[in-house]
Structure 1
Amino acid sequence: MTSSLSILPPHISRFPALTDYEDGISAIDADYLRPGLAAIHLIVENGKAALVDTGTSSSVPGVLEVLQKKNLAPADVVYVLVTHIHLDHAGGAGEFMRHLPNARLVVHPRGARHVADPARLVASAMSVYGEAEFKRMYGDIHPIDASRIIEAPDEFRLDFNGRPLLFLDTPGHARHHYCIFDERSNSFFTGDTFGLSYREFDVNGMEFVFPTTTPVQFDPVAAHASLDRLMSYNPSYAFLTHYGRIAHLPRHANELHGLIDAHVSIARKLRDVPDNHAALVDELGELLLRRIIAHGCKLTEERIRSLLKLDVELNAQGLENWLDHSEGKG
């Protein structure tokens, strides 16, 4: 997920900086663009810690403060796990590694070279935003020494201080994406594979979840397959980077399948409309707005639209990119 600050919601909502769950898992707000947008998950096992996703370089102070509150030292963090290398998930990895002397970074094999040498990632983003805006959004992107990088291919297993973690290749949102199955909590850390779910849309404990079709590697066929693969483990919870723990996974998986198809259908319908970006944004926004209202959310339409604005814009861009390639031609 990347975008200009100009499409942020105009309000800043109150949101807890730290949410503790069972099984030694916590969600720490990543301090990315607005409260409650992105989480860094902390897993603690027998005095050692692992982080799942890193936010940006501005996320580091908040995480170090949480570690101190939990009587953990930076040296107690032994793994940094990035579900994929989009900059809201891995932009802060290099800065974290500078502060966590014993940590090793675990990354999908397709992303390993880009965290070791992030020059192409940085150049690409700067070409879109300009240097000043890039620095404001993401700060410094530091390379990570290759000796501290662990590549996690499909079904890679990691012993985290006696706690088994299983890494599954889960393309659809990005080809360099894995999800992590945690046997202790019978849960997945899903990055963006299981969509987005903002706590503002919760109604009586029921979450609203919707897909992210962010550029540039959206693949609806792979996205459906990855959802089915995650659900084959019958997980109790999913820990989403955007945002935190959700339950009711069979219901949400079914609705995500339908919303992926609805996004694709809208994109195909508008494919040949001249200058169709605005129409695509409008229809995607209307689709999600109506679903959220039907879900029972009592926020005003203006508030709902403002919370969705960033993701609707990015989803439209991702669908346009998909349509421009062979995957969207069939």
Structure 2
Amino acid sequence: MPKPTDLGRSISLIELYDLGMEKRTGSYILHENELAIIETSASPSIPYLLKGLDVLKIDLKEIKYIIVTHIHLDHAGGVGLLLEKCPNAKVIVHPKGKRHLANPTKLIQGARAVYGNSFDKLFDPILAVPENRLISKEDGETITIGENRTLTFFDTPGHAKHHFSIYDSYSNGIFTGDTIGVFYPQTKDYGFEFVLPSTSPNQFNPDAMLKSLDRIEQLGVDIIYFGHFGKSENPESIYEQIRYWLPKFVDAGEKVIEEYPDAQVEKKIAVITERLLLVVSTFLSDKGIEASNEVYKHIKLDMQICSMGIVDYLEKQK
């Protein structure tokens, strides 16, 4: 297990091995007089998070806030389990996600529908968060951590309606969860940074996603901290890539639905996945990234989930 990564500005990143994959998800630890954690991943990741906190010599009693950008299980599924270890912590969540952390029944049902027999291995257990330990933050509200750091919460739908992004005054950075994409650090070794939109079901909306991107861009941040995985100090490149790829994703979905109007949903998802994989793989191959590179394993998984969200969105538009 790698040691936590010092990202500067009193922020550390702990690798969480979501789905058993490296550089998939991480928790950001904000080191101030009042400690905060952003993102927990799913419950099977909590042992890695606890080990990382131990390496950082953080007493769990000192953690004041556990913050989740949204309630999808790969970001918040482990929050109840972690909270049991952190007696003085409160959980901060988007107002539309609060009730689902207090009663995760629908979260569990939704994930079971997507992941089937793999659910228990990937996500179990999902523990309810006591109501008295939940805090919701409306758009523009803030908290202060220590003497130098103010966090501002911005409602940023597109990936999900229960999603906020968190602006950090100390680093002039923003924690974006999945709103403006998945970041693939594997490509850094080839001299470029790569990001793709995250269009997973069932609240994906491309127009809302682009509006959220515009809003983040207007903040003039220097750093973007992604839910998947790591940071970029080239925000303009990130915005440009999302604006390039998002219409291509939606267009691929529209063409498949037009070509296969009477096909089962599973067929449409499979064809969209195949086409997205082809165009993305061709792009990366042209950049010199071999087919054996680990990044393709991540992208194959992501394109399947993205295709599900694209079909769901387009069917709703009918």
TM-score, length-scaled by structure 2: 0.92
Q: Does 1:43 align with 2:33?
A: no
Whole-Å separation in 2 of the counterparts to 1:245 and 1:205: 15
Structure 2 counterpart of 1:9: none
Aligned length: 310
Pairwise mapping of residues 25-174 of structure 1 onto structure 2 (< 5 A)? 25-33=11-19, 34-46=21-33, 48-130=34-116, 133-162=118-147, 163-174=149-160
- Which one of 221, 232, 245 corresponds to residue 231 of structure 2? 245
Identity of aligned residues (%): 32
Whole-Å separation in 2 of the counterparts to 1:126 and 1:323: 22
Whole-Å separation in 2 of the counterparts to 1:299 and 1:50: 39
- Which one of 311, 314, 318 corresponds to residue 320 of structure 1? 311
| Equivalent AA in structure 2 for residue 66 of structure 1 | G
Structure 1 residues 140 and 73: CA distance shift in structure 2, 3 A: same
Which deviates further from its counterpart, 156-165 or 180-189?
156-165
Whole-Å separation in 1 of the counterparts to 2:52 and 2:297: 30
Structure 1 portions without partners, runs of 5+: 1-14
CA contact (8 A) 2:270 2:304 kept: no
Whole-Å separation in 2 of the counterparts to 1:63 and 1:125: 22
CA contact (8 A) 1:39 1:244 kept: yes
Structure 2 portions without partners, runs of 5+: none
Structure 1 residues 16 and 273: CA distance shift in structure 2, 3 A: farther
Whole-Å separation in 2 of the counterparts to 1:251 and 1:78: 34
Structure 1 counterpart of 2:297: 306
CA contact (8 A) 2:4 2:56 kept: no
1:170-215 deviations in whole A, cap 9, x for unaligned?
0000000000000100000110012111211224553111111011
Shift in Å, 1:286:
1.5
Structure 1 counterpart of 2:258: 272
1:19-48 deviations in whole A, cap 9, x for unaligned?
2110111111112111111111111113x3
Whole-Å separation in 2 of the counterparts to 1:69 and 1:29: 12
Aligned with 2:182: secondary structure?
coil
Structure 2 counterpart of 1:11: none
Structure 1 counterpart of 2:284: 292
Which deviates further from its counterpart, 167-176 or 52-61?
52-61
Whole-Å separation in 2 of the counterparts to 1:193 and 1:17: 27
CA contact (8 A) 1:203 1:297 kept: no
| Equivalent AA in structure 1 for residue 312 of structure 2 | N
CA contact (8 A) 1:39 1:243 kept: yes
TM-score, length-scaled by structure 1: 0.89
Pairwise mapping of residues 245-264 of structure 1 onto structure 2 (< 5 A)? 245-264=231-250
Whole-Å separation in 2 of the counterparts to 1:203 and 1:248: 16
Whole-Å separation in 1 of the counterparts to 2:55 and 2:241: 38
Aligned with 1:197: secondary structure?
strand
Shift in Å, 1:86:
0.3
CA contact (8 A) 1:43 1:51 kept: yes
1:73-115 deviations in whole A, cap 9, x for unaligned?
0011110100000000000010011111111000000000000
